[in-house]
Amino acid sequence: MSFRKALEQKLYGLQADITISLDGVPFLMHDATLRRTTNVEEEFPELARRPASMLNWTILQRLNAGQWFLKTDPFWTASSLSPSDHKEAQNQSICSLAELLELAKGNATLLLNLRDPPREHPYRSNFLNVTLEAVLRSGFPQHQVMWLPNRQRPLVRKVAPGFQQTSGSKEAVASLRRGHIQRLNLRYTQVSRQELRDYASWNLSVNLYTVNAPWLFSLLWCAGVPSVTSDNSHTLSQVPSPLWIMAPDEYCLMWVTTDLISFTLIVGIFVLQKWRLGGIRSYNPEQIMLSAAVHRTSRDVSIMKEKLIFSEISDGVEVSDELSVCSDNSYDTYANSNTTPVGPRGGGSRAKTLTDRSGR
């Protein structure tokens, strides 16, 4: 059902992981076990932890492979299903490779990847041949098959020369050419834009996975990526062109305009700053200190004046006392010129100094 819905969206191709059953039937299964995508724990609890390839096809056909999708709704799309689609999804079973080939014949390209069965599997040595025979027997066009397994490529090229040999690892171009590789299937974080150009120059097509966001799809589209693998094809199919695209001339004009605006803003800020700083006079440190002394608050000035007034009054009283003492002892002073006058406080002559606030 999921493949049919995808084909209705006119996609380029489908990708599938193939496993072979215990009795040699190739079928589609991404996980190693059946626990996540089937009801094996309800139907066959004793087989729930066994590898999917270690069960017969008759048992695999009895499992339900659609109820998990409706319960978990991994892509938030279950609610958009119609009643008939909902009923069909609820009764889905495991899809075989033959069913997929019949569905996609003439409608899409298939990217096929094989999962190696366990060592004890009876088809361990020839599971690739069994799968290859199933593809050729179905009559599916060879040129629409992208063959990803790296095992026995010479044999595959001989039996199915029309297959598009696809590599899942990034290698040198010379090595890829020697291996007759025509396509690359890589994660979108593994390749650069320059490598995409190099691969394109050697006629190597690149498919990138897993791309689900429209913006990333648009970015890779503009980078020249031919195709992508997505779990969100119903959304990407509605993107007819890159979300935001600009012609080279428009892109160049945008950057030139941005540069001119930035340059104008920088020059304007520089001129404004210079004009503001031009009105400020330069001062030396002494002028700055004097200016700081002048710009005092009125309260500090009044306090200083009061101190000076009281100091002058006190000095005037002391001077009058000394003059009275000297007048009383004038005879002694003139009688003995070598005698030093002594004030009533018993001190010698005093020298008063006026000290400004700078200590001078």
Orientation angle between helical segments 97-104 and 127-137, nearest 10 degrees: 30
Q: Which pLDDT score is estimated for 307?
A: 65
| Domain 2-167 of CATH type 3.20.20.190 | yes
Question: What is the reported pLDDT for 106?
Answer: 85
- pLDDT of amino acid 323: 45
Domain residue limits, the chain: 2-167, 246-280, 284-360
- pLDDT computed for residue 75 by the predictor: 84
List, in order, residues 6 or more apart from 89 with CB less than 8 Å away.
1, 66, 69, 70, 78, 81
Question: What parts of the chain have a pLDDT lower than 50?
Answer: 288, 290, 292, 317, 319, 322-360
**CA terminus-to-terminus distance, the chain:** 103
Model confidence pLDDT, tens digit, residues 169-223: 999 899 999 999 999 999 999 999 999 999 999 999 999 999 999 999 999 999 9
pTM of this prediction exceeds 0.85: no
pLDDT of residue 260: 96
- Degrees to nearest 5, angle at CA 310 with 304 and 311: 85
Residue 350, pLDDT score: 37
What integer pLDDT is reported at residue 23 of this predicted model? 97
Report pLDDT for 282: 56
Sign of the CA dihedral 97, 101, 102, 107?
Answer: positive
Name the burial class of residue 103, with classes exposed (0-12), middle (13-18) and buried (19+) by CB atoms within 10 angstroms of its CB: middle
Angle at 356 between CA 352 and CA 360, to 5 degrees: 75
pLDDT of residue 347: 41
The reported pLDDT for the residue numbered 330 is 43
Alpha-carbon distance 211 to 228, whole Å?
Answer: 6
* pLDDT tens-digit series, residues 300-320: 656 665 666 656 565 554 545
Q: What is the DSSP string of 46-95?
A: GGTTS-GGGS-HHHHHTS--SHHHHHH-TTS-GGGS-HHHHHHHHT--PP
- Give residue 107's pLDDT: 87
Distance of alpha carbon 121 from alpha carbon 20, whole angstroms: 9
Is the previous residue joined to 210 through a cis bond, with omega within 30 degrees of 0? yes
101 contact partners, CB below 8 Å, separation of at least 6:
110, 134, 135, 138, 140
